[in-house]
Amino acid sequence: MSATVSDKLLAWYDSHARALPWRAPPGAPRPDPYRVWLSEVMLQQTTVAAVIPFFEKFTATWPSVGALAAAPEEDVMAAWAGLGYYSRARNLVKCARVIAEQGGFPETEAELRKLPGLGAYTAAAVAAIAFGQRAVVVDANVERVVSRLFAIRDPLPGSRPAIRAATETITPDERAGDFAQAMMDLGASLCTARDAKCLLCPLSAECRARSEGNPLELPVKAKKKARPSRTGTAFWIERDEKVWLVKRPGTGMLGGMRALPDDGWSARGDGHGEAPVSGAWKAGGVVRHGFTHFDIELGVAVHAGERPTPNGEGEWWPVHAIEDAGLPTLFAKAARLVLAKRD
């Protein structure tokens, strides 16, 4: 199957490759490994559409791995705000500094795996796409395509070793990077989770799930556990058209990010802390947000007293420029709620 699948898929990719800002078109010189690595980190748990504007802003601000390595971590964290999974940003800076110290990216999958924050997938993707190495690249799109192509019926995540082994058999020695991106594009455009456009698919003749008449049944996914819910309170403290922001601890939930002060919900599950200033408060509404492992309802308490003096360390940030503070999505939602109600 391998030669047939890879040849057909690469021929399809040559005509149908997505134009993405981190890619080199088929037949062009391979892309800058910095751009490949940065895009792959951003794309973890995040859609292509959401990543593109962040990628373009990042590469305009820090056009090379050396520039990113020299950037203050707080600036990178602020630019990352809105992408979520903020540990990725901290690891990004850490990894960039190691790469800069080494004088550039290593070119093999094994050496790339030694860099901080690079897992098996990212190392394989950079090795294949940026350096032309033969590496087996398996993301969620590839899992779906290969599960259907080989009719792998064991539920995820237990089926991942079988999926990887099957992908190994069809990955070509030449153009492994283009092949990996072709698999991703096929899964993003034709062989999607909700549809299987088999009549347009270059691999339809080889697809076992199609021949059995049930491609949408694959991949089989284990039932998700219900996510727990948390509650908490964020505090809006305003004085002289400026709002009080704090910096969260470097580790833990949303570590190192600017945020509104809160009641400690991230540490205890439910918030039971004291308000950061004394005086009268009024309800500012509730925002809801989903993290990886839990959902939260965050009430917003607005200080109604005159000229508050907050406890602890923080900074007064101009209310009119709150969008520039780099708040994590949860607190950005809270800020927008307060301002919308006031307007």
Q: What angle, 0 to 180 degrees and rounded to 10, lies between the N-to-C axes of helices 160-170 and 140-149? A: 80
Instruction: Supply the pLDDT for residue 272.
Output: 53
Instruction: Supply the pLDDT for residue 280.
Output: 86
- Find the helix or strand (DSSP H, E) in which 167 lies: helix 160-170
Instruction: Supply the pLDDT for residue 1.
Output: 52
- Find the helix or strand (DSSP H, E) in which 301 lies: strand 295-303
Told to judge if 40 belongs to the known catalytic residues of this protein, a careful annotator would answer yes
Q: Please, are residues 215 and 196 in contact by the beta-carbon 8 Å criterion?
A: yes
- Entry pTM: 0.80
Instruction: Supply the pLDDT for residue 31.
Output: 97
Q: Where are the domains of the chain?
A: 2-217, 229-342
Taking residue 12's Cβ as centre, other Cβ atoms within 10 Å add up to: 18
Local confidence pLDDT in tens for the 343 residues of the chain: 556 899 999 999 999 999 999 999 999 999 999 999 999 999 998 999 999 999 999 999 999 999 999 999 989 988 998 888 888 898 999 999 999 999 999 999 999 999 999 999 999 999 999 999 999 999 999 999 999 999 999 999 999 999 999 999 999 999 999 999 999 999 999 999 999 999 999 999 999 999 999 999 999 998 878 889 999 999 999 999 999 999 988 777 888 889 999 988 765 555 555 667 767 899 999 999 988 888 999 999 999 888 888 888 999 999 999 998 889 999 999 999 999 988 6
Q: Is 332 exposed, middle or buried (0-12, 13-18, 19+ CB in 10 A)?
A: buried
Q: Of the residues 40, 174, 238, 315, which is catalytic?
A: 40
The class level of CATH for 229-342 reads alpha beta
Q: What is the CATH number of domain 2-217?
A: 1.10.340.30
Instruction: Supply the pLDDT for residue 267.
Output: 54
